[in-house]
Amino acid sequence: MTKKIAVLPGDGIGPEIVAEAVKVLECLRADGLDIEMNEAPVGGAGYEASGKPLPDDTLALAKESDAILLGAVGGYQWESLDISVRPEKGLLGLRAELELFSNLRPAILYKQLADASTLKPEVVSGLDIMIVRELTGGIYFGQPRGVRTLDNGERQGFNTLVYSESEIDRIGRSAFDIAMKRGKKVCSVDKANVLECTELWREVMEHVAKDYPEVELSHMYVDNAAMQLVRAPKQFDVMVTTNMFGDILSDCAAMLTGSIGMLPSASLDANGKGMYEPIHGSAPDIAGQNVANPLATILSVAMMLRYSLNQVVMAERIEQAVEKVLDQGLRTADIYSDGMQKVGGSEMGDAVVAAL
């Protein structure tokens, strides 16, 4: 049956990197991949089109699709808008409406780019971590929240960290399922020494682990996890953590690999439907110049094929094509080093298609 893909380019470099990923999908379609692609605005583009960062039609398209390919949202021109209509609300809305609770963020260091990391090659070479971040709960969504004025006239900001057992259980199972297909190690990151909510997190993780006897579960406080990620990152296989801790740790892990332009992500619901996007933002500083690296978005398509469309062989073909263009010495500006061939984003996309 034809699989429906919602294509949401978004803002800034979003449209140019998504165009390269669409080239890759078109190439695979010509090779037998049975897909239909439909495009819609989101983020700042959604706001301009309809006054909402997540237009109703875009949400409806996302809901009826099997998978969503997203570029990035945000830009200087929307920064002064009321927070309720800022571009980021489009993303948060999609995650919440589609119940995309499990965010998979791999941090892989390609051997060809070992020099791009700020860490010593022996610390990072061969790095392959999967961070599983809870995405629809925790302090980013907890109520009550806001800024209130106290009796003495002073303003006070407040947010709420809240997780129910079922929310912890399902993200735990997501992490353990992935660990079963990898190195069979899960490190759950919390702050159980200070936060009651993550004390419960730890307890539920222990409970989930009983159903996965082959997987080794360990626990780590988030401050130590941040330290260990830069000290000895190869000790980790799968890390599972809360929304906010995962937000921070996954960016840290991303930088171990050198370039933000290389890393894909997936956000999945309980049935394997997912939204796929690069981990970087809309990079307004380089938008429209054909210098943005499209590989993170192209690798997001590989994750889509693997996790939502059940096309593991095609996913591997994309990953091998990316390796091949790196072997050929092609580099966008963000991963360029002496002796390599500097190319623009569209040339990089064409090279991946040629390698496919």
Catalytic positions:
140, 191, 223, 247, 251
- Near ligand NAD by CB under 6 A: residue from 171, 238, 283, 326: 283
| Secondary structure, 3-state, 137-186 | CHHHCCCCCEEEECCCCCEEEECCCCCCHHHHHHHHHHHHHHHHCCCCEE
Query: Is the CB of 174 or the CB of 250 nearer to ligand NAD?
Result: 250
Cβ atoms of 137 and 162 within 8 Å: the answer is: yes
Among 48, 57, 285, 327, binds ligand NAD (CB under 6 A): 285
Closest CB to ligand NAD among 25 and 279? Answer: 279
| Phi, psi dihedral angles at 185 (to 5 degrees) | -135, 130
Contact pick of 62, 91, 256, 304 for ligand NAD (by CB under 6 A): 91
Matching residue, tokens 């570029």: 71
Q: Are 222 and 189 in contact (CB under 8 A)?
A: yes
CA angle 209, 215, 216 (to 5 degrees): 85
> In the complex with ligand NAD, which residue's Cβ is closer, 296 or 309?
296
Do residues 137 and 163 touch, judged by C-beta distance below 8 A?
Answer: yes
- CA–CA distance from 173 to each of 170, 187, 191, 211, 238 (Å)? 5, 13, 20, 9, 12
Q: Given the rule CB under 6 A, which of 71-79, 127-135, 159-167, 307-315 is the region that contacts ligand NAD?
A: 71-79
Query: Which CB, 6 or 283, lies closer to ligand NAD?
Result: 283
Supply the minimum distance, in Å, between the C-beta of residue 115 and ligand NAD: 17
Using rule CB under 6 A, residue 334 touches ligand NAD: yes
Q: Which is nearer to ligand NAD, 17 or 240 (CB)?
A: 17
Among 22, 54, 72, 301, which residue sits at the site for ligand NAD (rule: CB under 6 A)? 72
* 155 beta partners: 149
Based on the shown chain and the rule CB under 6 A, indicate whether residue 75 belongs to the binding site for ligand NAD: yes
258 near ligand NAD, judged by CB under 6 A: no
Q: Is 286 in the site for ligand NAD (CB under 6 A)?
A: yes
Does the footprint of ligand NAD cover residue 282 (CB under 6 A)?
A: yes
Helix (H, G, I), strand (E, B) or coil at 8: strand
State the number of binding residues for ligand NAD (CB under 6 A). 22
Residue 42 DSSP SS3: coil
Residues that bind ligand NAD (CB under 6 A): 13, 17, 72-75, 88, 91, 260-261, 277, 280-286, 292-293, 296, 334
